[in-house]
Structure 1
Amino acid sequence: MRRFPTLSEALRRVFGRKVWKIPLDAGFSCPNRDGSRSRRGCSFCNERGSGTGLAASGLSLRAQWDLWRDRLAKSRGADRFLAYLQSFSNTYGPPERLAAVLDELRGLPGLAGICVGTRPDCLDGGKIALLAGLGLPWIQVDLGLQSADPATLTRINRGHDPACFARATAAAASAGLLVCGHLMAGLPGEGREAFLAGVDFLNALPVAGIKLHNTLVLKGTELAKDWEAGEYEPPALEEYAAWVAEAVDRLRPDIVVQRLCADPAPGELLAPAWASDKAGVLAAIRGGLAARGFAVDTRETGGRHA
C-alpha cells in the first residue's frame, strides 16, 4: 500500500516528537471586508473569517495561547506547539502591525514554530522578510488559492487571480518559508475537472503543503443566499471523497497533505448536511484512497475551514 506525507509525520521529522497546532486570532481584518477591495468578503466566508473569533471577545494572544495550551497539556500531554494565526488575513495592514504580533508570539511558552494564514495579495517582500527573520525551525504561510480558474475567483469575489498566488508562493518559498496552498472543491460553477486543474496548478509551484476543503454553505455568507435561492448546490459526499482521492493520487509526492476536509464550527452550517459528520466524511475519503492503493490514517487530516 502507498502512503502520502502528512503534517504529523513532517513535524516529527523536524522536531523528533509530536507537535500540536494552536489557533490564534490576532484581530486582523481583510481587504475583502474593510472596503479596501470589497465589503462583501469571499462568497463562502462569514464574519468569523474562518477562525475562532476570540480577539473580538477581548482575549489577548497570550490568553488564547494559555487557554489552548492548558487544555492540550491536560488532555494530550502536549508541550510543543505551532502558533497558527488563523482568522482573516494575518499579513494585512502595515508591516509594523505584523512585526508587533510576531514579537508577541516569540515569548509564548512551548512555541516550536508558526503558521500564518493570509491572502497572496497581502504578502509582500517586507512581510516575507519579517516572517523569515523569526529564525524558527517551522515557519509556514497558509495561502488561499481556492481555485486556479480566474473566472471562478471573480465569481466568488476572491479579489485576486491565480498569477498573484503564484508570485506570492515563489517569493515566500525563495525566502525559505513553507507555503501551504488551500484548494476548495465544489465552488460555484466548478466540478471535478476544475478542482483537479487546481491540483495541477499547485503541483507546478514550490508549495510544501496543501489543504483540501469541501465547500461549506455557512450562515451569513453570500453563498448561503445563492443556496437558499436554489442557485447553488454543493457536491454529494461520494463525489467529494472521490475527488479528494484522485487529487492525492495526482499530487507531487513531496507535498505534505495537511487537510483532507473542512468541518464547520457549531451552529454555522447550512449545507451540505454530510459535512457535520466528520467521522463519516473521513471514512468516505479513506475508502476512496484505499481504492487507489493508499494506506492512510485520516484522523489528523480533518480541520476547520481555514
Structure 2
Amino acid sequence: MDKQLRYNDFAGFLTKQFPFKVQKLSVNAGFTCPNRDGSKGYGGCTYCNNQTFNPEYCRTEKTVTTQLEEGKLFFARKYPQMKYLAYFQAYTNTYGELEQLKRMYEEALDVENVVGLVIGTRPDCMPDSLLDYLEELNRQTFLLVEYGIESTDDHTLARINRGHTFACTEDAVRRTAGRGILTGGHVILGLPGEDSEKLIRQAETLSQLPLTTLKMHQLQLIKGTRMAHEFAQHPEDFHLYTVDEYIDLAIDYIEHLRPDLVLERFVSQSPKELLIAPDWGLKNHEFTTRLKRRMEERDAWQGKHCSKKYSIINSDNKNGN
C-alpha cells in the first residue's frame, strides 16, 4: 500500500497487472436478472435502476463488438495507446446458457486492444460449470469477477429484496477465489437499518473473505425504484448522509478493512435527472480528493484498526494468466 495515499488503490493495482494504461469499457450484453424474471423474484432489488450506470454507447441493440469499438473511440483521441478491459456491467452477466456466455466473453476478447474481462454478477448465479470455463479463461487473459454483495446482514438483504443470503455470497466468493480467479465485491453503505456500528462489523466480515477488490458507494435514492417509494412513505427509516458525514463513515470503514484489499471506488455518481438524494454536487474524483485530505487530517490509513490475522489473507491469490 502507498503510504502517501493511505489506502490500496485500484490504479496502483492495475499498474502491477499491466505494463500499459488500461481503461474499463462498460458492455450491456442484454442480460436480465433472476430477481426480475421470476426465477428468484420480481421487480429486482429495491434500490436498482440500471439506467444509472449505462454509458450512452451501451445499448442492447448493439453487438458487444460495436459497444466496445464505440467506447474505445471515446478514449482513443486523448489516449491513443490505451488498452481496455471489457466490463460486463448491467444486470447479471453470468445469468445465461454457458455457450451463450462463452460467445459473448470471447467476442469481447477478440476486439483489438481489449486485454481482459471484468464480469459483474450475483453470488447466486455462478454454477460450477461456468467456474470451470472461467478458470481456464483466467489462464489466458486478465479476469476479474465482481459480485454484488451489498450487505453482509441477512435482514438487510431480505429488506432490499436481494433474493439471497450472505452465506450464498461467502460461498460464491470462496469458490471463485479458490480457482485462482481475481474476485471483487460491491457494497452499499447506508442501507436502511445499517448504522455505522453495523457497517464497521461488515468491514471486518468482508476482510475475512478472499476478495481482491472492493467497491463501496453511498446509498442513493433513484427515481422509479421501490426504495424511492419506501422513502416517500417512511423517510424516518433512512439516514441520508451529508458529504462530510459520509467521508468520515467511509474512513472508519476503510480503517477496519485489511490493508491488502484493493479499494476501487468510494462513491457512485448517478445521472442528475434520476437522482432524488443525496445530491452532493461532487464528481467522483472531487469526492476522492476530499476523502484523502480528511484521511491526512485524521492520520487514518487502511487497516489501522483491522485485526492482524486478516492482513495477508489475499497474498497468495494471484491472477492465473
Q: So what's the TM-score if we normalise by structure 2?
A: 0.86
Q: CA deviation at 1:294?
A: 5.4
Name the structure 1 match of 2:73.
70
Name the structure 1 match of 2:317.
none
Unaligned runs of 5+ in 2: 303-321
CA contact (8 A) 1:217 1:269 kept: yes
Deviation digits for residues 127-185 of structure 1, max 9, x if unmatched?
A: 11222222344210110111111000000001111110000001100111111111111
Q: Give the whole-Å Cα distance in 1 for the aligned partners of 2:122 and 2:56.
A: 18
CA contact (8 A) 1:86 1:116 kept: yes
For the pair 1:139 / 2:126, whether they are aligned, the reply is no
Name the structure 1 match of 2:223.
219
How do residues 199-218 of structure 1 correspond to structure 2 at under 5 angstroms?
199-218=203-222
Name the structure 2 match of 1:304.
none
Unaligned runs of 5+ in 1: 297-306
Q: Give the whole-Å Cα distance in 2 for the aligned partners of 1:181 and 1:121.
A: 14
Q: Which amino acid aligns with 2:87?
A: Y
Q: CA deviation at 1:93?
A: 2.2
Corresponding residue to 2:10 among 7, 16, 24? 7
Q: CA deviation at 1:228?
A: 2.0
Q: CA deviation at 1:54?
A: 5.4
Q: Give the whole-Å Cα distance in 2 for the aligned partners of 1:23 and 1:136.
A: 21
For the pair 1:172 / 2:207, whether they are aligned, the reply is no
Deviation digits for residues 222-279 of structure 1, max 9, x if unmatched?
A: 1111222243342222221111112222211111111111111342111111165545
For the pair 1:18 / 2:24, whether they are aligned, the reply is no
Corresponding residue to 2:37 among 28, 34, 38? 34
For the pair 1:248 / 2:254, whether they are aligned, the reply is yes
Q: CA deviation at 1:106?
A: 2.2
For the pair 1:151 / 2:155, whether they are aligned, the reply is yes
Q: Give the whole-Å Cα distance in 2 for the aligned partners of 1:275 and 1:177.
A: 37
Q: Which amino acid aligns with 1:127?
A: L
State the identity %: 30
Corresponding residue to 2:271 among 260, 265, 287? 265
Q: So what's the TM-score if we normalise by structure 1?
A: 0.90
- Inter-CA distance 269–101: structure 2 relative to 1 (3 Å threshold): same
CA contact (8 A) 2:87 2:119 kept: yes
Moved more, 218-227 or 123-132: 123-132
CA contact (8 A) 1:25 1:52 kept: no
